[in-house]
Amino acid sequence: MAPAPPSTPDPEFRERLRADCTRCTGLCCVAPAFSASADFAITKPAGTPCPNLLADSRCGIHDRLRDSGFPGCTVFDCFGAGQHLTQVTFGGRDWREDPRLAERMFAAFPVLRELHELLYYLHEARTLPAARVLHADLEAALVATDQLTRQDAGALLETDLAAHWRSVNVLLSRASELARKGHGAPDRELRGADLAGKSLGGADLRGANLRGALLLGTDLRGADLRLADLTGADVRGADLAGADLTTSLFLVQAQLDAARGDDRTRLPATARRPRHWVRARSAG
């Protein structure tokens, strides 16, 4: 029996969790640190603006990040935390105004981003028909998490993020178990598994628990990943050509952007097919 698709997500809520760089002050280009690697062409300390950041808070090479050696930037998703921090938490102020303001904004950014990511997962879990018995608890956790995002910067920095993640993750894991029940064999319990570089082309991974799995460069061509839980799975460079992810659980756009695929890859209706996939398929 084919896995039942999740119910329709709330488009307005999804839009809130979608990054809007026009309402942000380039926080993701300043706050995080990154090192010269396959993902970044240069090393940049935390709190230092990327040299590609323009005065209007836009990226000067946004349309050619991959070709310029910055593929890591193309797979970063703030889940809307950037514009929320700029417009709501700091009332439209810019970190360039005051070094003390900048310090607080940069420190609060990763906290708010994690909370927004949690909102995304909770929203997705709430749409799963099989997890209906948990919907009231998921709604309560969503409301509580939303309230945390609306705190001022000082309160945000005092939030016990680890404790909140742990409590919410119990609910998310249970929702995942309910959604996957009856669709996965015992050997599909692959939480945290190191599958980097493995050949899993054509594998039946329906209902597999791949939470936190390392799928770096893994061959998943033609794999059936319906109702597979991909929470936090590292799929950088994984080949998803022809794979079926139509009902994959907790799949985020950044994961797709980090992977490879083609026009045969089946995606959830709410996902966007990465532009570089077509070029990758043509080149292969």
Residue ranges covered by each domain of the chain: 11-180, 184-284
CA 217 to the chain's CA centroid: 18
Q: Would you say 217 and 196 are in contact if contact means Cβ atoms under 8 Å apart? A: yes
Q: Whole-angstrom Cα distance, residue 271 to residue 267?
A: 6
The dotted CATH code for 184-284 is 2.160.20.80
Q: Could you report the per-residue pLDDT of 88-142, keeping only the tens digit for each?
A: 999 999 999 998 899 999 999 999 999 999 999 999 999 999 999 999 999 999 9
Question: How far, CA to CA in Å, does 240 sit from each of 69, 202, 265?
Answer: 22, 10, 7
Token pair 């119910």 in the structure block, residue:
7
Residues in a beta bridge with 204:
224
Per-residue pLDDT, 187? 65
Question: Tokens 């028909």 map to which residue?
Answer: 129
Model pLDDT, residue 129: 94
How confident is the chain (284 residues) per 10-residue block, as mean pLDDT?
Answer: 48 85 95 94 96 94 93 93 97 93 96 97 94 95 96 96 96 96 78 96 95 97 97 96 97 96 94 81 45
Residue pair 186/205 in contact by the 8 Å Cβ criterion: no
Q: What pTM was estimated for this model as a whole?
A: 0.90
* Neighbour tally for 278: CB within 10 Å: 13
Burial (CB count within 10 angstroms: exposed 0-12, middle 13-18, buried 19+), residue 243: buried
Q: What is the pLDDT of residue 169?
A: 96
**CA distances (Å), 160 to each of 156, 165, 226, in order?**
9, 9, 34
User: Hey, what are 95's tokens?
Assistant: 């970190």
3-state secondary structure 55-121: CCCCECCHHHCCCCCCHHHHCCCCCCHHHHHHHHHCCCCCHHHCHHHHHHHHHHHHHHHHHHHHHHH
The pLDDT of residue 12 is 78
What are the tokens at 80? 């809307």
Bridge partners (DSSP) of residue 53 are: 59
CB atoms within 10 A of CB 13: 16
- pLDDT given at position 26: 96
